[in-house]
């Protein structure tokens, strides 16, 4: 239908209202390309700017971890409650339903098993394959202070360069070996190095005291690593305290899939992260199932 002249003179052009292009409002995101921001907006809920990631990538170095023996039976039913799934390309193609809609954070580093020196990793996934899988981000382990520290940092920077070309964010995972202390001084060092060298968000451990200084000193979002299996109440307290002290979400694995009731646990974690539910109330929710 042709335009009529009188329509061109109406208020619908809103000439007096300036355009408001808006970046996705998470820390460090404003200068990223549209595709990067769009992928991050799938991982971090726009309404809360937080995420509950479900980590099931343990098998890439330690085989069939307890709780992950059958991902199709144990994990696929949890996907509706996860904002993102951190996993490997083998598990994506073999087991994860393409129609699930859960964003994938793709493990892209690997090499040694638990039988060898873990810091001796290489890039194990090409960025083109991450594109084929439609990953929303790629994840790489960074061993600050480890035997192969420089190699792992180089892995990350190569992925950052490739991700910039294809619009795929990079999650740097700060690895802590037996010889390194999980205190605020070390975590400030590790997370800041990752962010300074281009990581778009960083996964790190919670520490007490001074986790707030770790989050404040990192110019990109921090996602708290779940770490070893804790009693459910303690895991919910840790998640709550991390969020209260500046984390932009959690990436939990064993504290969810090794729980007696994994679905109830991931729902309780989601209540803490996205609804600011207190740990005791979230634990009551977990107990009720």
Whether 203 sits among the annotated catalytic residues: the reply is yes
| Global pTM value | 0.93
pLDDT score recorded for residue 181:
75
Length of the chain as a residue count: 289
pLDDT score recorded for residue 212:
98
Q: Give the integer Cα–Cα distance in Å for 88 and 83.
A: 17
Please pick, among 27, 203, 229, 278, the residue that the annotation labels catalytic.
203
Q: For the segment 227-280, what is each residue's pLDDT rounded down to a tens digit? A: 999 999 999 999 999 999 999 999 999 999 999 999 999 999 999 999 999 999
**Overall average pLDDT of the 97-101 stretch:** 96
The DSSP output letter for 50 is B
The residue to which tokens 């339903």 are assigned: 97
The DSSP output letter for 28 is T
| Closest among 231, 228, 217 to 260, alpha carbons compared | 231
pLDDT at 3 over 80: no
Q: Would you give the distance in Å from CA 192 to the centre of its chain?
A: 17
Q: Give the integer Cα–Cα distance in Å for 206 and 34.
A: 31
pLDDT at 6 over 70: no
């Amino acid at each position: 239908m042709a335009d009529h002249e009188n329509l061109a003179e109406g208020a619908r052009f809103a000439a007096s209202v300036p355009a408001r292009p808006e970046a996705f409002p998470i820390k460090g995101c404003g200068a990223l390309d549209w595709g990067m921001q769009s992928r991050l907006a799938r991982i971090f809920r726009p309404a809360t700017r937080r995420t509950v990631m479900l980590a099931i990538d343990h098998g890439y170095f330690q085989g069939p971890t307890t709780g992950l023996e059958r991902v199709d039976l144990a994990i696929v039913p949890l996907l509706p409650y996860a904002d993102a799934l951190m996993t490997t390309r083998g598990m994506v193609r073999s087991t994860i339903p393409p129609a699930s809609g859960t964003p994938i954070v793709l493990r892209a580093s690997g090499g040694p098993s638990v039988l060898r020196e873990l810091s001796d990793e290489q890039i194990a996934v090409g960025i083109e394959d991450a594109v084929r899988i439609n990953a929303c981000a790629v994840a790489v382990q960074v061993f600050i202070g480890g035997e192969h520290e420089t190699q792992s940092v180089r892995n990350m920077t190569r992925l950052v360069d490739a991700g910039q070309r294809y619009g795929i964010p990079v999650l740097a995972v700060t690895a802590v070996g037996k010889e390194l202390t999980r205190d605020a001084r070390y975590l400030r060092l590790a997370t800041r190095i990752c962010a300074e060298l281009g990581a778009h968000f960083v996964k790190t451990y919670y520490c007490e005291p001074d986790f707030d200084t770790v989050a404040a000193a990192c110019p990109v979002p921090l996602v708290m690593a779940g770490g070893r299996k804790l009693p459910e109440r303690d895991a919910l307290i840790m998640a709550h305290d991390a969020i209260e002290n500046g984390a932009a979400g959690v990436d939990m694995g064993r504290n969810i899939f090794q729980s007696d009731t994994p679905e109830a646990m991931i729902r309780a974690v989601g209540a803490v992260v996205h609804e600011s539910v207190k740990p005791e109330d979230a634990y009551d929710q977990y107990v009720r199932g």
